[in-house]
Chains A and B, each alone.
Chain A
Amino acid sequence: MSVPQKSLLAKIFAFFASFGLATFTLTMLLLITFLGTLEQAEYGLVASQARYFESVFIDRIDVGACWRALALNAYWDIGNVSLPLHIVPGGYTLMALLFVNLLCGGIVRIRKSPKTIGVIISHFAILFMIAAGAVSYHFAKEGNLSLREGETSDEFLSFHDRVIEIEKVQTDEKAKRSVLVIDQSKYKDLAAGKGRTFTHESLPFDLMITNWKQHAQPKRDAGDRTDAVDGYYIQEISTLDESGAAMADEQLASACVAIVKDKKGGPEQKGLLWEFAAAPWTVAVGSDKYLISLVHRTYKLPFAIRLDQTEQEKHPGTERARRFTSKVTKITGSHEEKRVITMNEPVRSEGYAVFQQTFDDGTRSGSGVKSSGFQIVENPSDHWPLISCIIVAQGLLLHFLLMLGRFLKVNEWAFALGIIFALNAAFALAMWKLL
């Protein structure tokens, strides 16, 4: 029996459309999800998310941490075992593979018949969901804004994204602020002994960053440190809390050493940058002054928000919160609009959504003034998952109910469509009555 020779292109397509690739990708996703979840116990959500779910390849797997997360060390302590690899595909690669695989196998190659229509619909919906994820990963901005009663702001801070900001001090107060930003990805590999110089045509100096630490505090130098700057050095601290669990990312304070080198050959100036520093580092180069700081990335809103009043309701006789509500004013130019933000009911406007996140009655901050923390998100694919969910639900229901109908030996289409209609009606009713 002679098999016609397939072209290379056809072979490649067949590979990308294969069940084998689907099974492999799904299994790998399952595995990295498992490991990435376990590592969260010691590395925290943000770090393991970056390592496992957003990476192209996983740089290493801390088997010891996973082992301890499963509490297996109670039986057998394996200590610190880490697999340095760069061959296991990370979440980003796997999602991309799955997308291609779904497109080739689940949409293009799949047999088109009434029997497979549900599967095709579901595959399409999942493609859409992966696309939503990609759009959100690349283009969404999210951060928080903390306002005290009476305070107004039109900026919010990223949760996890840190940057080094360089701002020229303007002599004219009305002049527009302009800030140069160095992304964290450009300097977070600069451990002790490594350095990188950043330069920009508008600056009269080059900026060298070195000795970056993820979580640190400045310490007074007793006189024996070689890395001290103005009598202080950066002391690294553990990212684990006292019970051995990872601290939340927002509790971490990174720090680094910055060296300003005058392009005209003036003397080098050295300073410490620390996230929790009360003020930026001020350097004078020539006749100009510059502010350099290590901060969470700032985003600008197209409108300003003023917090007018904020309230917290508690379950009676307890300290458990039942509801947080903030009355705010949205200010666009001279136009003011009153809005109410409460738990589960954000305010959406101009592509931004503002959510009530935290509340402080003034005791935590010690200021005695009530304040609200808002989460602010701008996500172009905001509503895509909802659409995708509705489609995938219909697709899967159709497919599996047709199968069940055949199993039960009833009129499969009437059976499937009838139940789908009933379920959708029930869901719509729930939305109408409860939402």
Chain B
Amino acid sequence: MKTLRLALFTLLASCGFIPAAELPPLDLFREKEVVETFASIPVQESGRIKPLENVASYRLLRFRARRSIWLTDNGEMEDGKPLVDPATQKPITKEGGKPVKLSATEWLLMSWFRPDIAKTVPLFKVDNSSAITELGLKAKAKRDQYSFTEIEPARQMLMEKMGEYREIPAKKQSPEQRMIVQLAANFLDYEMITGHFDFIRSPVGDKAEALPAGIEKPVRLSKSLNALAQDIRKGDVPPMQKPWFREFGKGALGAMMSGNAEQQLRIFPPGPKVNEVWHGPGETIFSAINGEKDVDADQLAWLAMYEEVYLALPDATKFKTAAKTLLTKIQDVAKQRGEAQFVALERHSMKADYFFYAQWLFLVGFVALTLTWISPGSRFEKIAKILTWVLLATATGYAVTGVVIRCIIMQRPPITTLYETILFIGASTALFGLIAEWITKRSLGLLVAAVGGTACMFLAIQFEASEATDTLQQLQAVLITNFWLSTHVPMINLGYSACMVAALLSQFYFIHRFCGYRSSKILFLQRAMGDAKARESYGRFITRVVYGFIAAGLFLSLVGTVLGGIWANYSWGRFWGWDPKENGALMIVLMCLVILHARLGGYIREIGIHCCNLILGCIVIFSWFGVNQLGVGLHAYGFTDGTWPKIYAYWGSQIVLLGYGLFLAWQGRRAKSQGEVDPAAVGKAVAAD
């Protein structure tokens, strides 16, 4: 099957698009009723049942790094001229001549039903214009978006280059080569999406005279698929030489909707108690071509129902009814099978976009927090603080709800991928911050919640866009154990979180010291931070909180790591394997132990603890993201490109702070040895606690 598909890809390259008799208006596919119906269709993809909206959303995200698209000549709202509908030759606008923005589902519907427009939309994001030049096309800006029509002339070249570059190991590909491989994959996938209904539009092309006998016209695969397949099975001539096969094969590819077998469109649930794998239009056609026997009547009935939807066009009422009938039927059969019960919940979570709103609430919460610094002690501060509390608590609530809903959809504990660690650590950091604030009431916890929450939610959103694959993934066999996934994994991540909070507080400590040093010159800082004594006491307070978080971090990391070892021991027979991720966790434990013992031994004091803490933060980042880049070991589950520079940026910033810390320590020691008691100097540098 794979070879046949590959042959089809290369041979059928130049087939043009066949227009339907009368094109439906684009507005039909923006109607709420239509969009809702299609968005809710349950689909089996990558081993789980999800709404079609999810499929559309991740495809669009993969093509253009965003989940919506403007119908303008640059794909953006600003400076974009509305696209022209090729059928009516009128610009596509809404009221007031403004350009139209499509959601992912609307975009998918446009691609399916109005490919003529879809192919002119700047869709493919290209970060590296030299890749475009290499294809012999005219490059636009360094980073720009290209439509299907713009890339199409270089299709042949694109395929050749992809074949060539894919042979190079991923680590050794140049950025241009990576870009071309990615663009080629996206282009082919989109070609299949826009050709999705070709198997209904024109199942065998215009070669009707060469069809095997007994095939009704107009040809409908729901009726004639088995007859066509029998003709192929006869084996008199190779299928490729049959005059009608070209169009037929192309339609079959489009019906699959993806070159990746796991992502082909599967929307026809088999009857109850039959096998687990759903059927789809493409799969039905290919199983007829490759199979030894005829396709079941049941599958053909599904195909007929699917044809109904397309053939109802351009009649809007009939189309809506047919689409709804299809949806209801899929939902009913899925329900009988006991599947797809969380599709509605997943749609809700996509719509609610918890992490996106959480990010903004955290950010606004941070702004509100800065307002409390303006006039300490005033009523204004009180109000701002209450506002901060409300905002951050809501944001945390959003983040936690988002995580909980993901657990319900997948029926498993919260963390199974790198992406999920970011969400979990973000939510738990915010919770840690709020708990600390509730205990200490000195704004420090709020700061932790605001900064940690914003950073993690931002990171999660960026990470999702860069990966552009469904973040709810099925697990590999060894990981399917809810007990260990709900004990070892959260504990380790809470450990990361506690240590990151400690590191964050130490960063704040040094910034506080620096601002304290500057406060004699800046009135705002002076008001916010008080006199030298107040600042010193606040510094000591930070240290105490930091100590608490290191203790929590040690407990969680140590017990979490050992639990991981025990899981490994009871599941595959080795307690410790020196795997990079294990080593990363061990390094965190060791650093916490170093800090606690060095403090007890008197080798480090206040500044020393904070300096070591910065290193602890660097270790957490290494263990969290860095070790995955080494590409070795069991836990290397999230290899992402271009992570090192970001890690270096973090390490670099910490080295700067560390340098400042060492400077403070040196200054403090000198002040002490000279026996200075000048109160002004104390304000400048209080080294020891």
Contacts and interface: CB of A to CB of B under 8 A. Distances in A.
Interface of A: 18-20, 22-23, 26-27, 29-30, 33-34, 36-38, 40-41, 44-45, 48-49, 53, 69-71, 74, 129, 132-133, 136, 142, 242-246, 314-324, 343-344, 346, 353, 355, 357, 375-377, 379, 382, 385-386, 388-389, 392-393, 396-397, 400, 403-404, 407-408, 427, 430-431, 434-435
Interface in B254-281: 261-262, 264, 266, 275-278
Nearest to A242: B169
Interface stretch (B4-12, B379-387, B389-397, B568-576): B568-576
Given A315-B474, A392-B562, A400-B551, A33 B262 contact: no
Interface string B570-611: 111111111110011011001101100110111100000000
Interface string B42-76: 00111110000000000000000000000000000
Contact of B583 (A19, A33, A344, A377): A33
Contacts of A377: 573-574
B278 A317 contact: yes
A41 B554 contact: no
Interface of A is mostly: helix
B478 A388 contact: no
Contacts of B597: 19, 22-23, 26
A375 B573 contact: yes
B598 A19 contact: yes
10 contacts: A18-B601, A40-B633, A45-B577, A318-B262, A324-B477, A343-B478, A355-B571, A382-B569, A408-B439, A430-B487
B172 A243 contact: yes
Contact of B590 (A33, A246, A343): A33
B562 A385 contact: yes
Contacts of B593: 22, 26
A99 B572 CA distance: 27
B482 A133 contact: no
Contacts of B602: 19
B603 A431 contact: no
A242 B170 CA distance: 11
A412 B591 CA distance: 27
Nearest to B478: A343
A41 B644 CA distance: 15
B565 interface: yes
A19 B602 CA distance: 9
Interface of B is mostly: helix
Contacts of A321: 476-477
A38 B630 contact: yes
Contacts of A375: 572-573
B631 A407 contact: no
B276 A343 contact: no
B171 interface: yes
B578 A19 contact: no
Contacts of A343: 477-478, 480, 571
Interface in B473-502: 474-478, 480-483, 486-487
Interface of B: 44-48, 169-172, 261-262, 264, 266, 275-278, 439, 474-478, 480-483, 486-487, 544, 548, 551-552, 554-555, 558-559, 562-563, 565-566, 569-580, 583-584, 586-587, 590-591, 593-594, 597-598, 600-603, 626-627, 629-633, 644
Nearest to A41: B630
Contacts of B548: 403-404, 407
B660 to A, nearest CB: 22
A245 B631 contact: yes
Given A37-B583, A245-B632, A392-B558, A385 B575 contact: yes
A30 B591 contact: yes
Contacts of A427: 487
B278 A53 contact: no
Contact of A37 (B276, B569, B574, B584): B584
A427 to B, nearest CB: 7
A322 B478 CA distance: 8
Nearest to B644: A71
Contacts of B578: 36-37, 40, 45, 48-49, 53
A37 B627 contact: yes
A317 B47 contact: yes
A386 B480 CA distance: 21
A404 B590 CA distance: 22
B583 A36 contact: yes
A351 to B, nearest CB: 13
Contacts of A389: 559, 562-563, 566
A30 B170 contact: no
Contacts of A322: 47, 474-475, 477, 480
Contact of B44 (A36, A38, A317, A388): A317
Nearest to A22: B597
A30 B587 contact: yes
Contacts of B586: 33
Contact of B573 (A316, A320, A353, A385): A353
A49 B579 CA distance: 9
Contacts of B480: 322-323, 343-344
Residue from the set A244, A245, A344, A386 with the largest chain B CB neighbour count within 10 Å: A344
A271 B598 CA distance: 58
A407 B544 contact: yes
Contacts of A242: 169
B603 A20 contact: yes
Contacts of A69: 630
B47 A243 contact: no
Contacts of A70: 626, 644
Q: Which 3 pairs of residues, A with B, have the shortest CB-CB distance? A: A19-B601, A315-B47, A243-B169
Residue from the set B573, B578, B644 with the largest chain A CB neighbour count within 10 Å: B573
A388 B576 contact: no
B555 A23 contact: no
Contacts of B594: 23, 26-27, 30
B579 A45 contact: yes
A11 to B, nearest CB: 17
A136 B636 CA distance: 26
A379 to B, nearest CB: 8
Residue from the set A40, A316, A430, A431 with the largest chain B CB neighbour count within 10 Å: A316
A245 B636 CA distance: 14
A243 B544 CA distance: 48
Contacts of A245: 171, 631-632
Given A40-B632, A41-B632, A316-B47, A430 B576 contact: no
Given A22-B597, A322-B474, A355 B483 contact: no
B573 A142 contact: yes
A392 B481 contact: no
Contacts of A408: 439
A321 B487 CA distance: 23
Contact of B575 (A30, A136, A407): A136
A266 B9 CA distance: 68
Contact of B277 (A30, A316, A346, A400): A316
A344 B478 contact: yes
Contacts of B486: 430, 434
Contacts of B266: 317
